[in-house]
Amino acid sequence: MIDRYSLPEMAALFTDKHRFELWLQIELLAVDGMSSIGMLSLDEAKTIRRKAPEITTQFVNEVKERENITHHDMAAFVDVVQQAIGYPLASWIHKGLTSSDIVDTALCFTLRQATHLLIQSATELIHVLKARTAEFIATPMIGRTHGMYAEPITFGTKLALWCLSVDRDRERLRRAGDNIAVGKLSGAVGTYSCIDPRVEAFVCNALGLVPTPATQVIARDRHAEYLWACASLGATIETFATEIRHLQRSEVSEVAEPFSSGQKGSSAMPHKRNPVVAERLCGLSRLLRGYLSAGLENVALWHERDISHSSVERIALEDASLLGYYLLKKMIWLIEGMDVYPDKMAANLESAGGVIFSQPILLWLMDHNMTRDEAYRIVQRDAGRSLQENRSFAEIVEQDPQVDISVEEIKRIFSFDKAILNAERLRKIVDKID
Active site residues: 146, 266
Do β-strands 140-145 and 148-154 pair in parallel, antiparallel, or remain unpaired? Answer: antiparallel
Q: Report the Cα–Cα distance between both ends of the chain, in Å, rounded.
A: 32
Q: d(Cα 226, Cα 115) in Å, to the nearest integer? A: 8
Rg of the chain taking only CA atoms, in angstroms: 30
3-state secondary structure of 77: helix
Helix H or strand E encompassing 150: strand 148-154
How many Cα atoms sit within 13 Å of 234 on the Cβ side? 28
Q: Please say whether the beta carbons of 186 and 192 come within 8 A.
A: yes
Nearest to 141 by CA among 340, 345, 420, 343: 345
The answer to whether residues 379 and 363 touch, using CB atoms and an 8 Å cutoff, is no
Q: Which residue type, as a one-letter code, is found at position 394?
A: A
Peptide bond into 8 cis (omega under 30): no
Query: Residue 271 in 3-state DSSP?
Result: coil
Task: State how far the alpha carbon of 10 is from the alpha carbons of 4, 67, 108, 281, 404, in Å.
Answer: 13, 26, 15, 18, 66
323 by Cβ neighbours in 10 Å (0-12 / 13-18 / 19+) ranks as buried
Whether the Cβ atoms of residue 386 and residue 355 lie closer than 8 Å to each other: yes
Task: Classify burial at 417, counting beta carbons within 10 Å of its beta carbon; exposed 0-12, middle 13-18, buried 19 or more.
Answer: exposed
d(CA 53, CA 252): 62
What is the rounded distance in angstroms from the CA atom of residue 134 to the CA atom of residue 428?
9
Whole-number Å distance between alpha carbons of 295 and 313: 8
